[in-house]
Structure 1
Amino acid sequence: MTPHRVLVVDDSPFMRKIITDLIVRNRDYAVVATAKTGAEAVEAARLWKPDIITMDLEMPEMNGLDALRRIMAIQPTPIIMLAGISEDNTTETIKALQLGAFDFIRKPSGDGATSIEKVAQQLQDKLRAAMSVKAKATRLAAPTVRLPEPPSRPAPPQAKPAPPQVPFRPITPVPPAPPESPSLEKPGQGGARRQTDKPTYSVFSHVVAIGTSTGGPRALHEVISSLPAGFAAPVLVVQHMPPRFTRSLADRLDSFSEVLVVEAEQGMRVRGGTVYIAPGGYHMELAKDLSGYYIHLHEQAPRHGHRPSVDTMFESLIPRTELKRHAVLMTGMGSDGAIGMKQLLEHGAVSAVAEAEETCVVYGMPRSAIERGAVTKVLPLTQIARHLVGLVD
C-alpha cells in the first residue's frame, strides 16, 4: 500500500522534526514535504497535493489561519492545526475549526516524554480519522458543498513521486490569494459582535442537550447561530475539547448568536435562552435544588476516553422527567452519547436527533446512536436548528 502523503508546516525546525518523526512512526504515512511559512505551505499544497497537512498557527509572512483559507480555496485538504494554549492560540484555533480545519492537537509542551507520547497518540488518531473522511469523500465523488472552480488556466504540472521526508523549497512565487471561502457571518452580523442584553428565561419547560466531537465547532456554529433570540429552552453542549479551548469556543459562538453562549461554571443557574458549553476537563450535569436548575461539574474518570462526556450529560437528564427533553448527536469519532441517548428515550425523552451522514465530518457518534435504535430523527446539519425551534414552544 502506498503511504498517505503528509505536508508538515511549522516555522520551527525543531518542531518540524518532532512532528515528522511522530508521523512516520506509522508506515502508513510519509512526510513528502515541509514548509516553514504559510506562504510556503500554500505553494507546497498546490504542487505536492498532499493527502493531509499539519499546520502551525503562528508563522512569519503568512500565519496558519490565512494559509488555511487559501489552501481550502485552491486545494481542499484535511488540515490538522497545531495549537499552543495561549489565549490568542485558543481563539485562533477555534476560528480555524470553523473555517474548515479538520481538527487540532496541542503542541508538545516542556513536560518531557509523557507529553510527546500523548501528542503522538493524538496525532495518529487524527491522521486515521482524516484519511477515513478523505476516503469517504472520494467514494461519494460529490461533496456536499462545492467550492467555486478557480479561473480557467493551464493545470500545474504534476509533481514527480518523491521519497518520504523531502523538504520543500519554493520554486515559483506564491500566486495572488484567491477569494476567501464563504464567510460564517450572517447578513448584517460581524465576528466582533457582542450582545449583552440577550433575553434569557427563568421559567422553561424544555431542555436541549447536544453532543459532538471532531467537526463539532463548525457544526455548533451552524446550529447555535441559527437559534432565534426567543428560543426559551436552555441548551447544554458537550464538545470534546481540552481545557481553555472551550472558553474560546463559547466566546466565539456567542459573538455570532442571538442566544447567550457561555462556558459553564460550577453552580451556575440554568436559564432558557442560554447555551452552556461544558468546560474542557470536567463532566457537566444538569442538577436541581429548591431554587431550580443549576450546572454541576465534576472530575470523575473520563468515559470513552473523554471528559467532558456526552453520556454523562445525557444521563443527568434522565430523572428530569418534568422537562421535555431533546437530545442531539452530531459529527464526531467514537460512540460517546449513544448509550445516554438510548436511556433518555427509554425514560420519555421527546426527541433524539442524529446528524445525517452526508453532513458529518466524522460519522461515528451519530451512527452509533442510530445502530442502537436510540434516534427518532436523522437530519442534515442545516435542518437541526429549525427542527429544535419547531419542537420548543
Structure 2
Amino acid sequence: MVPSNKYKLLIVEDSAFMRKVISDFFKDHPAIEVIGTARNGKDAIKKIRELKPDVVTMDVEMPELNGIETLKYIMEISPVPVVMLSSFTEKGARQTLLAMEYGAVDFVTKPGGTISLDLHKVKEELIHKVELAAKIPIEKLKKHRKALSESQSDEPAFHEKSVLYYNRNFIGKMEKNDWRRTADKIVLIGTSTGGPRALQEVITRLPESFPAPILIVQHMPPGFTKSLAERLDQISRIRVKEAEQGEIVEKGTAYIAPGGFHLKLRKIGSHYELFLDDQEPPRAGHRPSVDALFESVSQFNELDKIAVIMTGMGSDGSKGLIALKKSGNVIAIAESPETCIVYGMPKSAIGTQLIDEVVNVNEIAMTIMRYLR
C-alpha cells in the first residue's frame, strides 16, 4: 500500500534493465514511490488507468506503441505529468521535442544510448525533474493543451481584460513617443521547464512582418536547441533558427541560444551581431543563461527592449532584468501563474517589482505586438 503522503510514480521502459535501474533511484525516496512499471506503450496506458500515478517517466523509443504515440493518447484520455527519457541523438532530439509539444513536461537525456549503462550520471537530474513534475496540477496540463490548440488557429484579437497586471508607474516613466518612433527594438525571451510549448504558443502567433529581432534562451542541452529551432521554424510565420557565431541580427527572425553557449549581443559598426560564449561558466547551472543574455543587451541604451520571462524553475532572468531596467526603455512581461507549468522564473521576476505586465501565455504575443505597432 502506497502511503497517502507520497507521490506515485510509474516507470515506462521496454528494457528490464532500465526499469530496474530507474526503480532503484527512487528506492528510498521520502516523497516518491514507484507503484509499477510498464514494458511498452500499450502496457503503460493500461497501468495508468489502473494505478492512477501522479507522475510518469517514459522512454521515447519503445516497441508496439512508441513514446510519442503513447503520450498523445495519455494526454487525451488520462492526462498526467510525464518526464521523457531520450537518447542523445539527432533523432532522439526531434522525437523529444515532439513529446514536449504533445504534453511532456520535461526530459532527461540518457548518456550512452537507449540502454544506458551510465544512467547513474543523470540520477540526480532525473529525481529532481520527477519531483517537480509530480507537483504539477493536471489542470495546468489541460490549460496548456487548450492554449496550444488555440495557437494553431487564426491570430486572436487582443483583449485588455486578459492582462492580469499592468504596472502604470513603470510604463508612465517611459517617453511613449521615443518608444514608438525613434529607437530600434529588440525582443528578449527567457524560459525553462515547459518552455518549448510556451514558445510555440508565443512564436506561432507573431506575424511574418515582425518588426524586431528576437533573442531566445531556452534551458536545453546541445543538439536539442537546434531541433527546437527547426520545429518552430516549420510552424511559424517568422523565421526561427539556432543562433550562430557572428551573424547579424535581422528583424522578423528569432534566434535560439545553442545549448552549451551563453547568447550575447555586440555592436560592430552600425550592426548588432551575436556572440556565443562557451568560456563564461554556467549561471546557476545554466548555459545558456537568461541573465547572461539580458545583461549583455542592457549595455545598449539606444535599443528599446521587450523582455519576456516565461515558465521555468528557479530565478534565471531576474538579475538580468534588474540590469536591463537600469538603462534605456524596457518593457518587462511575465507569464501568469495561471498558465505557467512551473511558476518559478516568472515569480522571481515579479518579485523584483520591475515587471510591467503579467499575462497568460496565449496573450504574450499580442502584448508584445501592442508595444511594437
**TM-score interval for Structure 1 and Structure 2 normalised by the shorter chain:** 0.7 to 0.9
* Contact 1:284 1:312 (C-alpha < 8 Å) held by counterparts: yes
Task: Kindly indicate which of the two structures has a greater share of residues assigned to helix.
Answer: 2
Match of 1:385 in 2: 365
Aligned-pair CA distance for 1:292: 0.7
Aligned-pair CA distance for 1:87: 1.2
TM-score between both structures, scaled by the size of structure 2: 0.86
* Contact 1:204 1:232 (C-alpha < 8 Å) held by counterparts: no
Match of 1:368 in 2: 348
Match of 2:222 in 1: 243
Structure 1: 5+ residue runs without aligned partners?
Answer: 148-180, 188-202
Task: Describe the shift of the 1:368–1:183 C-alpha distance in structure 2 as closer, same or farther (beyond 3 A).
Answer: closer
Aligned-pair CA distance for 1:374: 2.2
* Contact 2:243 2:274 (C-alpha < 8 Å) held by counterparts: yes
Match of 1:71 in 2: 74
The Cα offsets for residues 246-293 of structure 1, whole Å up to 9 and x where unpaired, read as 000000000010000000011111101000000001000011111511
**What secondary structure is seen at the aligned counterpart in 2 of 1:222?**
helix
TM-score between both structures, scaled by the size of structure 1: 0.82
The Cα offsets for residues 131-160 of structure 1, whole Å up to 9 and x where unpaired, read as 2323xx58x9x964688xxxxxxxxxxxxx
State yes or no: 1:226 paired with 2:229: no
Counterpart Cα distance in 1 of 2:352 and 2:366: 25
Structural RMSD (CA):
2.4
Q: Which amino acid aligns with 2:43?
A: E
* Contact 1:242 1:280 (C-alpha < 8 Å) held by counterparts: yes
Counterpart Cα distance in 1 of 2:77 and 2:218: 30
Counterpart Cα distance in 1 of 2:241 and 2:198: 17
Pairing of 1:108-257 with structure 2 (within 5 A): 108-109=111-112, 116-134=119-137, 144=143, 185-186=152-153, 205-257=184-236
* Contact 1:46 1:74 (C-alpha < 8 Å) held by counterparts: no
The Cα offsets for residues 284-320 of structure 1, whole Å up to 9 and x where unpaired, read as 0011111511110111100011000000000011111
**What secondary structure is seen at the aligned counterpart in 2 of 1:358?**
coil
Aligned length: 341
Decide which of 52, 68, 72 is 1:49's aligned counterpart.
52
Counterpart Cα distance in 2 of 1:45 and 1:92: 22
Decide which of 78, 83, 88 is 2:86's aligned counterpart.
83
Match of 1:93 in 2: 96
Match of 2:331 in 1: 351
**What secondary structure is seen at the aligned counterpart in 1 of 2:135?**
helix
Counterpart Cα distance in 2 of 1:243 and 1:143: 29
* Contact 1:338 1:374 (C-alpha < 8 Å) held by counterparts: no
Task: Describe the shift of the 1:95–1:376 C-alpha distance in structure 2 as closer, same or farther (beyond 3 A).
Answer: same
Aligned-pair CA distance for 1:23: 2.5
Structure 2: 5+ residue runs without aligned partners?
Answer: 155-181
Match of 2:276 in 1: 297
Aligned-pair CA distance for 1:59: 0.7
Q: Tell which deviates more after alignment, 213-222 or 16-25.
A: 16-25
The Cα offsets for residues 220-248 of structure 1, whole Å up to 9 and x where unpaired, read as 00000000001010000000000000000
Aligned-pair CA distance for 1:24: 2.5
Counterpart Cα distance in 2 of 1:224 and 1:146: 16
Aligned-pair CA distance for 1:392: 1.3
How high is the sequence identity, in percent, across the aligned residues? 45
* Contact 1:278 1:308 (C-alpha < 8 Å) held by counterparts: yes
Task: Describe the shift of the 1:222–1:183 C-alpha distance in structure 2 as closer, same or farther (beyond 3 A).
Answer: closer
Aligned-pair CA distance for 1:183: 8.8
Match of 2:250 in 1: 271
Aligned-pair CA distance for 1:348: 2.5
Match of 1:10 in 2: 13
Counterpart Cα distance in 2 of 1:389 and 1:146: 23
Counterpart Cα distance in 1 of 2:111 and 2:6: 25
Aligned-pair CA distance for 1:114: 11
* Contact 2:303 2:328 (C-alpha < 8 Å) held by counterparts: no
Q: Tell which deviates more after alignment, 18-27 or 252-261.
A: 18-27
**What secondary structure is seen at the aligned counterpart in 1 of 2:53?**
coil
Decide which of 323, 332, 340 is 2:312's aligned counterpart.
332
Counterpart Cα distance in 1 of 2:354 and 2:207: 27
Match of 1:175 in 2: none
The Cα offsets for residues 100-120 of structure 1, whole Å up to 9 and x where unpaired, read as 10100011327xx99544411
**What secondary structure is seen at the aligned counterpart in 2 of 1:288?**
strand
Task: Describe the shift of the 1:39–1:269 C-alpha distance in structure 2 as closer, same or farther (beyond 3 A).
Answer: same
Q: Tell which deviates more after alignment, 367-376 or 245-254.
A: 367-376
Match of 2:159 in 1: none
